[in-house]
Amino acid sequence: MNDEFWGSLLSHIRHQVLVPVVGPDVTVVEVDGSEQRLTTLVGERLTERYGLTVPPGVTTTDQAVAAFLRERGRDEVDDLYGVIDEIVVDLDPEPGDALRDLAAIDDLRLFVTTTPDRLLAKALSASRGRPVREVSFSPNKSTPDQERNAREPGPADTVVLSLFGQTAAMPEYAIHEEDRLEWIHALLTEKASLPDWLDYPLKHQPMLFIGCQIPDWFGRFLVRLSSDKRLSLGGKPFFFAANSREPSLSSFFSTYCRRTMVKQLDMEPTEFVAQLRSRWEARQPSPRAPSPPGPQDTEPPSLDNAEIFISYKHEDVVAARRLYDAITRLGGVAWLDERELHTGDAWEDEILRCIRQTVSLFVPVISANTERKKESYVFREWNEAVERTRGILGQRFIMPVVIDDDYDGDTNRFKQVPREFKDFQFGHAPGGEPDADLTKDVISAIREIRRNDAA
């Protein structure tokens, strides 16, 4: 089971589709030369500041806040948000080894943190040499904050979603279980929502929960929220590492979820992350020796000599890369641009000219993402391809490809695609990997391109 867990997990990481959900057991920090969990440091300072009565042993933030509520009631609890924010600022901790290990795995691009600090973003920025995109969710986000969140990141950006807000002077983040219940309620009732561009990856891409200390009720809601299907019917993979403190939750997963969907591994969280980094690094290609004098490796095809144009929304860049790799392996000379283009960009004329005049096959990547907006640069490309078909007889030019895992062959679900696309057979490449039928179609199309070139 361990080999199956690691093999499947690392495969999803290699394809850059895994979404880690990071909990307090991983949020270990360096303070005065030693490493401790941040939640313990904050809990101890709250206990000392207010003289709280807590059980013997380690005190977490949750335990200290619960003791505060029992002893002082609800009237004073709003003061705690600012106090906790001050404690975190005063500590000014550095991310510990676990967060740095996680940040070093640069095939991970989208992270969810269940703690309100910014330590994960700090570790990622240091590891990757540039700031990361931070998105903070709260049921009462201001309009300017919502507008900032709505701006889509670039395809190469790293994103951290703070699911329960970030520390602040006001009650804009969750500090206890009842807060978290309200956050989940806001998502369930759509009283507040996450940015549209986050909807697809959170509901379709595999997720890894690490050291989240998930209570039974919360774990069930959180997993269900991150899937677009009933759990017993879904096919989205979930990985749980070091989350076995709730045996009833593990029992729920093993009883009601498909075995191939939920995989669990019991390991100390920081040890797990260290091993994850080690296993990931072991799978990285060895650096190539400098090339000797003489002919160098062939450069990737330019736009001018590409035969096959892959058109996609930048949210689908990971699947588009896989599709590109698959077409290249089959012998096609494909091209895709990983920049997020907009009307009026410098490259616009060159790209549209290529679609109108030079490429032999146009592959539009269709997904739930292409359905979310009625305005996008990719639709300009699609319309240019449709116009090109009016001057082509006896040769297939457009090959639509659906990348959604749950595509069942019903093209009517896609309202945004041009009507003319429906004249062609849609191929299926779940997550960007062509199925057997699409592979045959691509091979046939490449052969036709070669015959036409030789004529």
Q: What is the per-residue pLDDT for 185?
A: 86
* Amino acid at site 209: F
Cα-based distances in Å from 64 to 80, 98, 176, 177, 333: 10, 25, 9, 12, 61
Instruction: Work out the pLDDT band at 114, boundaries 50, 70, 90.
Output: very high
Terminal-to-terminal C-alpha distance of the chain = 55
313: closest CA among 382, 388, 410?
382
The per-residue pLDDT for range 21-65, each reduced to its tens digit, is: 999 999 999 887 788 999 999 999 999 999 999 988 888 999 999
**Residue range 218-239: mean pLDDT, rounded:** 70
Distance of CA 283 to the CA centre of its chain: 21
Distance of CA 53 to the CA centre of its chain: 41
Q: What is the per-residue pLDDT for 442?
A: 92
- Domain 2-34+93-282 falls in which CATH fold? Rossmann fold (3.40.50)
Domain map of the chain by residue range?
2-34+93-282, 308-454
CA–CA distance, 373 with 196 (Å, rounded to integer) = 9
Q: What is the per-residue pLDDT for 297?
A: 43
- Residue 128 class from Cβ within 10 Å (0-12 exposed, 13-18 middle, 19+ buried)? middle
Contact 123/100 with Cβ under 8 angstroms?
yes
Q: What is the per-residue pLDDT for 300?
A: 46
Q: What is the per-residue pLDDT for 254?
A: 67
| pLDDT score of 257 more than 70 | no
Give the strand order in the sheet containing 334-335: 334-335, 308-311, 361-366, 401-402, 427-428
Residue with tokens 């490259």: 347
Domains 2-34+93-282 and 308-454 share a fold: yes
What is the token pair recorded at 261?
């969907």
HSE of 68, CA atoms in CB hemisphere, 13 A: 27
Bridge partners (DSSP) listed for residue 241: 210, 265
CA–CA distance, 318 with 321 (Å, rounded to integer) = 5
Q: What is the per-residue pLDDT for 103?
A: 96
Find the range with the poorest average confidence among 57-66, 250-259, 396-405, 442-451.
250-259
- Residue 359 class from Cβ within 10 Å (0-12 exposed, 13-18 middle, 19+ buried)? buried
The per-residue pLDDT for range 361-386, each reduced to its tens digit, is: 999 999 988 888 777 778 889 999 99
Instruction: Work out the pLDDT band at 196, boundaries 50, 70, 90.
Output: confident
The per-residue pLDDT for range 440-452, each reduced to its tens digit, is: 999 988 888 877 7
| pLDDT score of 433 more than 70 | yes
DSSP notation for 309-367? EEE--GGGHHHHHHHHHHHHHTT--EE---S---TT-TTHHHHHHHHHHT-SEEEEEE-
Find the range with the poorest average confidence among 143-147, 168-172, 328-332, 335-339.
335-339
Q: Of 27-36, 113-122, 176-185, 310-319, which one has max mean pLDDT?
A: 113-122
DSSP label at 425?
A: P
3-state secondary structure of 126: helix
What is the token pair recorded at 364?
């539009």
All residues at 6 or more sequence positions from 169 whose CB lies less than 8 Å from its CB, including other chains: 81, 82, 85
Find the range with the poorest average confidence among 134-148, 193-207, 222-236, 439-453.
222-236
Q: What is the per-residue pLDDT for 234?
A: 59
Residue with tokens 């929304």: 313
- Domain 308-454 falls in which CATH fold? Rossmann fold (3.40.50)
What is the token pair recorded at 356?
């109108």
DSSP label at 398?
A: B
DSSP notation for 253-321? HHHHS-TTTEEEE---HHHHHHHHHHHHHHTSPPPPPPPPSSPPPPPPPPTTT-SEEEE--GGGHHHHH
What does pLDDT average to over the chain?
83
- Phi, psi (rounded to 5 degrees) for 361: -145, 130
